[in-house]
Amino acid sequence: MTTGYPFSAVVGLKDLRLALVINAVAPSVGGVLVRGEKGTAKSTVVRALASLLPVVDVVDGCRFSCDPLAPDPRCPDAPHDAPTATTRAARLVELPVGASEDRLVGSLDLERALTEGVRAYEPGLLAQAHRGVLYVDEVNLLHDHLVDLLLDAAALGTSYVEREGVSVRHAARFLLVGTMNPEEGELRPQLLDRFGLTVEVAATRDPVERAEVVRRRMAYEADPEGFTVRWAQDDAELAELIVAARERLPRVVLGDHALREVTTVCASFGVDGLRADLVTAKAAVALAAWGGREEVTTEDVRTAARLALPHRRRRTPFEAPGLDEQQLDDALSSVEPEQGPEGPDDSPDGGGSAPRDVQPAPADGSSDAAPEAPSAADKVEQPAASASERTEAPAEPFRPVSLQVSGVNRRAGADGRRSRAEGGSGKLTGSRVPQGRLQSLHLSATLQAAAPHQRARGRTGTGVVLRGSDLREAVREGREGNLVLFVLDSSGSMAARSRTSAVKGAVLSLLLDAYQRRDKVGVVTFRGSDASVALPPTSSVEAAAVLLAALPTGGRTPLTAGLLRAAELLRVEAVRDSNRRALVVVVTDGRHTSGPAPPLAAAHLARSGAACVVVDCESGPIRLGLAAELGEQLGGVALRLEELSADALTSVARTFVPAGRRSA
Say what the pLDDT of residue 387 is.
45
Non-local CB neighbours of 215 within 8 Å, separated by 6+ positions: none
What mean pLDDT do residues 348-356 have? 47
79 prior amide bond cis, ω within 30: yes
Say what the pLDDT of residue 497 is.
55
DSSP state of 344: E
Q: Which of 564, 582, 586, 566 is CA-nearest to residue 489?
A: 586
Q: Which of 569, 560, 574 is CA-nearest to residue 602?
A: 560
Region of 232 please: left (phi>0), alpha (psi -120 to 50) or beta. alpha
Say what the pLDDT of residue 379 is.
39
Q: Where are the alpha helices (DSSP H) in 403-496?
A: 443-450, 492-496
Instruction: Report which of residues 360 and 262 the model is more confident about.
Output: 262
The answer, yes or no, to whether residue 641 has pLDDT greater than 60, is yes
Say what the pLDDT of residue 347 is.
46
Q: Which of 15, 606, 29 is CA-nearest to residue 303?
A: 15
The answer, yes or no, to whether residue 621 has pLDDT greater than 80, is no
Q: Collapse the DSSP code of 615 into the 3-class scheme (helix H, G, I; strand E, B; otherwise coil) and give the result.
A: strand
Q: Mean pLDDT over all residues of the chain?
A: 79
Give the whole-angstrom CA distance, residue 278 versus residue 285: 11
The answer, yes or no, to whether residue 371 has pLDDT greater than 50, is no
In one letter, which amino acid is 274?
A: L
The CATH code for residues 378-406+481-656 is 3.40.50.410
| CA dist list (Å): 235 to 14, 43, 441 | 15, 18, 49
Element (H, E) at 201: strand 197-201
Query: Which has the minimum average pLDDT: 158-167, 237-246, 300-309?
Result: 158-167
The answer, yes or no, to whether residue 524 has pLDDT greater than 90, is yes
What mean pLDDT do residues 57-61 have? 84
Q: In 146-279, where do the E strands start and end?
A: 158-163, 166-171, 175-180, 197-201
Query: Percent of the chain, pLDDT > 90?
Result: 15
From the candidate CATH numbers 1.10.8.80, 2.70.98.10, 3.30.70.980, 1.20.990.10, the one assigned to the domain spanning 252-354: 1.10.8.80
Cβ 483 vs Cβ 522: under 8 Å: yes
Tell me the backbone φ, ψ of residue 654, rounded to 5 degrees: -75, -25
Buried b vs exposed e over 173-201: b needs ≥16 C-beta within 10 Å?
bbbbbbbbbbbbbbbeeebbbbbbbbbbb
Say what the pLDDT of residue 361 is.
42
Tell me the backbone φ, ψ of residue 154, rounded to 5 degrees: -65, -35
How sure is the predictor about 398, in pLDDT bands with cuts at 50, 70 and 90?
A: confident
Q: Collapse the DSSP code of 140 into the 3-class scheme (helix H, G, I; strand E, B; otherwise coil) and give the result.
A: helix
User: Do the domains 7-54+90-249 and 378-406+481-656 sit in the same CATH topology, yes or no?
Assistant: yes
DSSP state of 649: S
The answer, yes or no, to whether residue 368 has pLDDT greater than 50, is no
How sure is the predictor about 323, in pLDDT bands with cuts at 50, 70 and 90?
A: confident
What mean pLDDT do residues 599-604 have? 93
The answer, yes or no, to whether residue 414 has pLDDT greater than 70, is no
What mean pLDDT do residues 171-200 have? 80
Give the whole-angstrom CA distance, residue 550 versus residue 527: 15
- Cα three-residue angle 541-545-546, rounded to 5 degrees: 120
Q: What are 471-488's pLDDT values in tens digits?
A: 888 888 888 888 999 999
Query: Percent of the chain, pLDDT > 70?
Result: 81
Q: Which of 47, 44, 321, 37 is CA-nearest to residue 203?
A: 37
Instruction: Report which of residues 258 and 416 the model is more confident about.
Output: 258
Based on C-alpha coordinates, what's the Rg of the chain?
A: 29
Give the whole-angstrom CA distance, residue 572 versus residue 101: 29
State pTM to two decimals: 0.67
Q: What are 233-249's pLDDT values in tens digits?
A: 888 888 889 989 999 99
What mean pLDDT do residues 382-397 have? 61
The answer, yes or no, to whether residue 307 has pLDDT greater than 80, is yes
Residue extents of the structural domains in the chain? 7-54+90-249, 252-354, 378-406+481-656, 428-449+469-479
Tell me the backbone φ, ψ of residue 13, rounded to 5 degrees: 50, 45
How sure is the predictor about 327, in pLDDT bands with cuts at 50, 70 and 90?
A: confident
Fold classification of 7-54+90-249 (topology level) = Rossmann fold (3.40.50)
How sure is the predictor about 404, in pLDDT bands with cuts at 50, 70 and 90?
A: confident
Give the whole-angstrom CA distance, residue 6 versus residue 228: 6
Say what the pLDDT of residue 456 is.
86
Ranked by mean pLDDT, the top range of 137-141, 334-338, 346-350, 414-418 is: 137-141
| Residues labelled as active-site residues | 275
Say what the pLDDT of residue 5 is.
84
How sure is the predictor about 295, in pLDDT bands with cuts at 50, 70 and 90?
A: very high
Give the whole-angstrom CA distance, residue 543 versus residue 531: 19
Q: Which of 465, 429, 460 is CA-nearest to residue 449?
A: 465
Instruction: Report which of residues 336 and 264 the model is more confident about.
Output: 264
What mean pLDDT do residues 416-444 have? 79
Q: Collapse the DSSP code of 205 into the 3-class scheme (helix H, G, I; strand E, B; otherwise coil) and give the result.
A: coil
Q: Collapse the DSSP code of 645 into the 3-class scheme (helix H, G, I; strand E, B; otherwise coil) and give the result.
A: strand
Tell me the backbone φ, ψ of residue 86, rounded to 5 degrees: -130, 135
Instruction: Report which of residues 348 and 169 the model is more confident about.
Output: 169
